[in-house]
Amino acid sequence: MELTTSRHLLEPDDGLAAWLAAHGQPAWRAKAIRRWLFAGRALSFADMTDLPAAVRAELEADFTIWTTSIAMHHRADDGTEKLLLELADGHRIECVLLRDGDRRTVCISSQVGCAMGCVFCASGIDGVVRNLTTGEIVEQLLRLARLLPAHERLSHIVVMGMGEPLANLDRLLPALALAQHPDGLGISQRRITISTVGLPPAMDRLTAENPGYHLAVSLHAADDALRTRLVPVNKAIGVEAVMAAADRYWEASGRRLTFEYVLLGEVNDSPEHARRLARLIGGRAALLNVIPYNPVAGMPWKEPTNDARERFIGVLESAGINVQVRRRKGSRINAACGQLRRLAAQSTTDRPPASQSPVAQTKEPNSSTAASTTPRMPPSHTAQ
């Protein structure tokens, strides 16, 4: 995709109000344009048919709605849809739409890549490239909303895609504020979950500034030695500091905490690991989300056996821990964060095949429906 010098209409500092004034247009047109974008799911300014044609042409010349193109669009039999988006600078990110009953949940990315280094996650294999802008985060929401029929709307947001959300709060929080706004997507803050590997200073900032979100902390181990092996950034933090910051967030928000635990065969899945985890979490108003690992070609980790998983969960439940085992959704279309981007890079040197080349910004993508099993990443950042 070519870089553009026009202003991105989804950025907070888009200058739309000043532009309208300079062009002799009433201020209320800004709200009308937003309504077209968020409620009307307009693909282009040409779709905004209640605006004068001359105004639409001038907007087209000075602003851009889409800075991404859809490089790949995959659908799974369970209704999950995944987009691989190419950004204006050529980098790629992923976002997912999950259907579960009446819920329409989207999982979005906050960074290109990830610096946290979780050893089992595809997102961070090549490290972090850059933060996403507010507009790029909002654009994922609008891209996914356009996958729904007109009578459906997005109901939940989970910031569990590529990147560490709390490392990009300056851009993430304005995007989520727009998602909540009545003139935006109108999604209740209580239906928005932010995931984190556990960065205490950023957790404390969220506690002080806006503790209304649901917070999910990725643990994966209950002791520093094992957690540092699996989550290298833990070496400079420590489990105790992460849990203390989580407690402070709970005290400010009153929202039940969620702790996430990817279960790796013969690594962190023994009864003793479960006992340590029960001691760590015990006494908190919390949900433990256990996520059995899905093997991935080229990575050394393996799925826990059914017996190991049941023993692990049994120990936790006996200790009074509220446990949920994450159901797999979209595994046949590589719906876990970073996986589709990684496979595309491996097979095409980070360029899509000709049959799935990025489409023009004003066109819908070619899509495919998953029909065969492909290498899978654990759905450690994919919510129900």
**Side chain identity at residue 289, one-letter code:** N
Take residue 107 and report the two structure tokens written for it. Answer: 């999982």
Calpha distance 186→176 (Å, rounded): 10
Which residue in the list 94, 136, 139, 260 is annotated as catalytic? 94
- Three-state DSSP at 265 gives coil
Take residue 165 and report the two structure tokens written for it. Answer: 């959300």
The verdict on whether 94 is a catalytic residue reads yes
- Three-state DSSP at 169 gives helix
Task: Identify which of 245, 249, 286, 291 has the alpha carbon closest to the alpha carbon of residue 269.
Answer: 291
H-state helical runs in 74-233: 134-145, 169-180, 200-209, 224-230
| Residues 6 or more apart in contact with residue 125 via CB below 8 angstroms | 338, 342
Which residue in the list 95, 107, 121, 337 is annotated as catalytic? 337
The total of other beta-carbon atoms located within 10 Å of residue 2's CB is: 5
Task: Identify which of 291, 188, 202 has the alpha carbon closest to the alpha carbon of residue 245.
Answer: 202
Please count the CA atoms within 13 angstroms of the CA of 29 that sit on its side-chain side. 20
The set of catalytic residues is 94, 337
